[in-house]
Chain A
Amino acid sequence: MFFRISLYVSLIVFIFGLIFKVSQWFIRPVGISAEGFTSWGRFCAFVRGVIGVFFSARLFTLVKAFILDVILQWRILKEDWLRWVMHMLIYCGFMLLVLMHALGEIITASVFSYYYSTLNPFFFLRDLFGLMVILGIGIAVFRRYILKIPRFRSNKMDLYGVLLIALIIISGIVLEGMKITSYSDFTRMVEDYSFLEEEEDLTALESVWVKEFGLVSPNVSGPFDRDTVERGMENHEMNCMGCHSSPKWAFTGYVSAKIIGPVALFLDVAGVPGVLYYIHILACFIGLALIPFTKMFHIISTPISLLANSVMDKETSLPENIATRQVMELDACVHCGTCSRFCSAIMGYEAKDNPYILPSEKMVLLKDLSKGKKLGKEVLRAVQEGVYLCTNCDRCTVVCPAGINLKDLWMNVREGIIQEGEPEPLMLSPLSLARGLNREALPADEYLLPLDRARKALAGSFDLLNEPEKIISLPDGGSDYSPGPEIVDNTYSYCFECRNCTNVCPVVDNYENPQEVLGLLPHQIMRCLGLGLYQMASGPNMLWECVTCYQCQEHCPQQVKVADILYDLKNTAVRNMMDNS
């Protein structure tokens, strides 16, 4: 009764959870690419896409991806053999346990007519599969919590996943050990299955089970005389052996039986095996029910991601399907950290201590964002920096074992965040190259807007410059503002205003009225610094238009490090903007 009710409840939760999660793939938007599609439209596009694949040569690609990436998990092996071993142990061990042990009466019994859970090879295999999972879990814990892999972060979800599987397997093994030692189980089975009636026969059988098979009896204890053992063995062969292999074959359970041996009688009387049975069954059912809501959902979503990405690309796939795929990909991420291990921008993370620069951590947050969770201002600021501090090298996409097309995801999410968020100074750096090359994907005004906002937020004031008749009054103490540690170079003081830097500058040369566009020209910036007007020097648009060609610095007769100083001033401006916001 208990078994059935909890099974059905967990199955119902699992099925509804699954329907809910999958439906979200068609409902939720990620970034800007999902704008303008209805859920129905996305669903229809999905059906069309699937039909399109099944009736084309791409079917072969799909089959190949299924064998290589889903079954053999080639993408994991390519990056990390230890992780592949871990995953294979857990995945094969667990799947085989589900098929042979949990569904033994249904599946195994229908395939093997002689199936008996207490008979070899099934008896032994169950423990072998359990051991595989335990070994896998051991490697997982070792990798996540003992081995110090730089920037490999674990969160609560990772821990829950490991704990739940460990609980299922360990409770099973200990339960098996208790059953081996259990005197009440032994007497029940003797009553149910043996034809023995004489007291002496029963004692002899009991003695053999105590001596050989781990039973803990309140009545008999060794050493046993040879006659009793021989008689008991005979009884065992006649009554037990036909349906029950030696418990030693259930080696993990047998080991646990030996460990709990000294307290086994007490546990048996106290009914602990019964309690453990419920724990084991409940852990399994809770695990089943939670699949759609935990990391374990990846057993469904990750194969789908691998298959979808093997046959989809930005150019030929329907945009509705790209939008749907990107939501699904958030579920397919298992937080394995491979992307962060090979991310090109990792030192940005180390320098800024912002976890959202790491792709694996961005994924965690994007999941929350797509669920419509409201994030605090500070977290949003960090996420924005995280999605922008990316060199677009696409390595994360190349290495992702779940086949997630992270580069498309970043491009899409980034745009949504910077359109809405605070001004982003990183936009005024070569990190914007990929966005520039993709500008045709965006409406012109949306493309320019966040760039203009960043420029505005970083701009200083040039009132003094606009009123030439006014005499520039120098601030007290020689400077209007602390330059901060960024201005490391003071060669500006050698400047004698020959204007070579401005004359060779290709940016200045590009404009008819450069001062209007650039605010201050290179030689004016050097002069500002000489006068101690740091704030003014770190404000002109010149800094953000500088193409860092170093012509100015190369041609300075006074060896003023003009271009390096412009870099320093940019750093100062960014720091001040961030401090003020």
Chain B
Amino acid sequence: MKYAFFIGCQIPARVPHYESSTRAVLEKLDLELVDERQFNCCGYPMRDSDPKAFLLSSVRNLALAERLDLPMLIMCKCCFGSLKKAESLMNEDGKLQDEIREKLGEEGLAYEGKTRINHLLSVLYHDIGLETLRSRVSRPYKDLKIAVHYGCHILRPSSITQFDDPVAPTIFDKLVEITGAKSVDWDRKLECCGSHAMGIKDDLALSLTVKKLDSGMEGGADYLCTGCPYCQIQFDNVQEMILSGNGERKSIGSIIYPQLLGLSMDIEPGILGINMNRIDINDIRSYLSEA
């Protein structure tokens, strides 16, 4: 299996361990990733201000993947949501759509809508499958409780993202549970991490993040688990900011899914970037059973 690997902007700059752990896990699963250096921003941060900049950014990536004739593999849920949104917009006819096609044509690119847009989690779940994954888990966790954080832009709007049931999703929980960990029930499982407001209205962003973290801890989780750089930054970097302003607060670590899976597949913690998390997650290794 071969995919065009879409890394996005936040991961290389702020969450490089998401990329290294993803590469390590997928290599072990014999999945080939093709790097396309011409990929640009997915358009997500431009959607608030300029529809053309958003759509052009987004569709150019789809056209590049189409030129490679490969399905896309995306780690970021906001990138995923944006590309899916762009795909659905391009199915409609309009002046903006014509302009986009023309602009891409200037670079010799064409968009026909053939690209399959996948998030890492859907590739693991649908293309590789739970059975295969389970067979690769050599050191299942024991007694580890994980609060699965779905992330907004992969679930909603479900008519466009078509990832899972938007009200009672199970895919991410199942992926966590094949590692031996238990996915706990928690109140704010499907809520926003607060990232979109970070840098715009920090009080709001921090408040939403705190509610998430508290809810995870109340649910009895040992760790949160994410599959999106924005959410991870919020639970890791921003939680660190919150903790530095409040010494009394209890912390909860946040692990990125390929890190969680990778450890249970007995991949070196160094390769998975376990030490690159701001909030120390090394203790999670104590839940691993012996190989």
Contact A348 B53 (CB under 8 A): yes
Name the CB-closest residue of A to B53.
A351
Q: Does residue A391 face the partner (Cβ distance < 8 Å to B)?
A: yes
In the complex, how many angstroms separate the beta carbon of A517 from the nearest chain B beta carbon? Answer: 9
Instruction: Check B49 against A574 for contact (C-beta < 8 Å).
Output: yes
B208:A547 contact, CB within 8 angstroms: yes
Dominant secondary structure at the B interface: helix
Q: Number of B interface residues, CB 8 Å?
A: 58
Contacts of B47 in A (CB 8 A): 429, 567
The B133-184 residues at the A interface (CB cut-off 8 A) are: 152-153, 155-158, 166-167
Q: Which residues of A contact B166 (CB under 8 A)?
A: 554
Name the distance in Å between A579's Cβ and chain B's nearest Cβ: 13
Pairs across A and B, CB under 8 Å, 15 listed: A348-B46, A350-B56, A351-B56, A389-B46, A429-B45, A430-B45, A436-B199, A437-B14, A437-B241, A451-B201, A544-B201, A547-B192, A549-B156, A550-B153, A551-B192
A485→B96 CA distance, assembly (Å) = 9
> Measured between alpha carbons, how far is A364 from B48 in the docked complex, in Å?
28
Q: Decide if B152 touches A549 in the complex (CB within 8 Å).
A: yes
Least CB distance from A92 to B in Å reads 28
C-alpha spacing A409/B10, complex, angstroms: 18
Chain B residues near A544 (CB, 8 Å)? 200-201
Contacts of A350 in B (CB 8 A): 56, 103
**B13 contacts which of A393, A451, A485, A564 (Cβ < 8 Å)?**
A393
Instruction: Assess whether A429 is in contact with B49, with CB atoms less than 8 Å apart.
Output: yes
The answer to whether A486 touches B51, judged by C-beta atoms less than 8 angstroms apart, is yes
Residue of B nearest to A424 (CB): B49
Q: Which residues of B contact A398 (CB under 8 A)?
A: 12
> With an 8 A cutoff between CB atoms, is A431 at the interface?
yes
Flag the segment in A83-91, A181-189, A319-327, A337-345 that touches B: A337-345
Complex alpha-carbon distance, A354 and B102, angstroms: 18
A392 and B14 alpha carbons, distance in the complex (Å): 9
B:7-35 near A, CB below 8 Å: 8-10, 12-14
Asked whether, in the complex, the Cβ of A432 is within 8 Å of the Cβ of B199, the reply is yes
Q: A344-B9, A348-B50, A393-B41 are in contact. List 16 more A-B contacts (CB 8 A).
A: A343-B40, A350-B103, A352-B50, A427-B200, A429-B47, A429-B200, A430-B195, A432-B198, A432-B200, A437-B14, A437-B238, A507-B197, A510-B204, A547-B194, A549-B152, A571-B49
A344 & B153 in contact (Cβ 8 Å cutoff)? no
**Closest B residue by C-beta to A394:** B13
Contact indicator per residue, chain B 63-79, by CB within 8 Å of chain A (1) or not (0):
00000000000000010
Q: Assess whether B37 is interfacial by the CB under 8 Å rule.
A: yes
Measured CA separation A342–B72 after assembly (Å): 19
Chain A residues near B49 (CB-CB < 8 A): 425-426, 429, 570-571, 574
Which chain A positions have C-beta within 8 A of B230? 430, 433
Q: Does B196 contact A (CB under 8 A)?
A: yes
In residues 504-519 of chain A, which contact B (Cβ within 8 Å)?
506-507, 510
* Residue ID in chain A nearest B161 by CB atoms: A550
Max chain B C-beta neighbours (<10 A), residue from A347, A435, A488, A547: A347
Decide yes or no whether B131 CB sits under 8 A from chain A: no
Q: Does chain A have a CB within 8 A of B205?
A: yes
Provide the bound-state CA to CA distance between A395 and B128, in Å. 31
Q: Which of B48, B57, B153 is close to A348, meaning CB atoms less than 8 Å apart? A: B57
Q: Is B200's CB under 8 angstroms from A352's CB?
A: no
Within the complex, the shortest CB–CB distance from A543 to chain B, in Å, comes to 9
Given contacts A350-B103, A433-B195, contact A342 B37 (CB under 8 A): yes
Most chain A beta carbons < 10 A, residue from B37, B50, B166? B50
On chain B, the residues within 8 Å of A507 by CB distance are 197, 204
| Contact of A391 with B157 at beta-carbon distance under 8 Å, contacts A429-B46, A549-B192 already known | no
Cβ B202 vs Cβ A430 within 8 A: no
Known: A506-B192, A551-B156, A570-B49. A347 touches B40 (CB 8 A): yes
Q: What residues of chain B lie closer than 8 Å to A568, measured between beta carbons?
A: 51
| A436 near B202: Cβ-Cβ < 8 Å | yes
Asked whether A391 lies within 8 Å of B9 as measured between CB atoms, the reply is: yes
**Given that A348-B53, A432-B200, A439-B202 are known contacts, is A563 also in contact with B40, CB under 8 Å in the complex?**
no
Q: A437 to B199, Cβ gap below 8 A?
A: yes
Q: Which residue of A lies closest to B196 (CB)?
A: A547
Interface: A312 (CB within 8 A): no
Q: Is B237 in the interface zone, CB < 8 Å from A? A: yes
Q: Which residue of B lies closest to A342 (CB)?
A: B37
Contact B198 A393 (CB under 8 A): no
List of B residues within 8 angstroms of A546 by Cβ: 196
- Complex CA distance for A440 and B197, rounded to whole angstroms: 17
Q: How far is B198's CA from A435's CA once the two chains are assembled, in angstroms? A: 9
Distance of A344 Cα from B155 Cα, bound (Å): 25
Contact of B45 among A391, A395, A435 (CB under 8 A): A391
Specify the chain A residue showing the minimal Cβ separation from B207. A510
List residues 328-361 of chain A with CB under 8 A from any CB of chain B: 342-348, 350-352
CB of A150 within 8 A of CB of B238, answer no
B103 to chain A, nearest CB (A): 6
Partner of B53, one of A342, A347, A395, A433: A347
Name the distance in Å between A209's Cβ and chain B's nearest Cβ. Answer: 56
- The list of the 3 closest CB pairs from A to B, nearest first, reads A436-B199, A432-B199, A393-B9
Interfacial chain B residues near A545, Cβ < 8 Å? 197, 200-201, 204
What is the bound-complex CA distance between A127 and B5, given in angstroms? 48
Is the CB of A434 closer than 8 A to any CB of chain B?
A: yes
Tell me the complex Cα distance, A348–B44, Å. 12
Q: With A348-B46, A428-B48, A567-B48 as given contacts, are A550 and B199 in contact (CB-CB < 8 Å)?
A: no
Instruction: Name the CB-closest residue of B to A437.
Output: B237
Query: A345, A351, A393: which contacts B52 (Cβ < 8 A)?
Result: A351
Q: With the chains together, A379 CA to B200 CA distance in Å? A: 25
Judge if B98 is at the interface, Cβ distance under 8 Å. no
CA distance A348 to B9 in the complex (A): 14
Q: CB of A548 within 8 A of chain B?
A: yes
Tell me the complex Cα distance, A436–B14, Å: 13
Per the bound structure, the CA–CA distance linking A465 and B149 in Å amounts to: 38
Task: Provide the residues of chain A in CB contact with B205, threshold 8 Å.
Answer: 436, 547
Contacts of A549 in B (CB 8 A): 152, 156, 191-192, 196
Does B60 belong to the interface (CB within 8 Å)? yes
B233 at the interface (CB under 8 A from A): yes
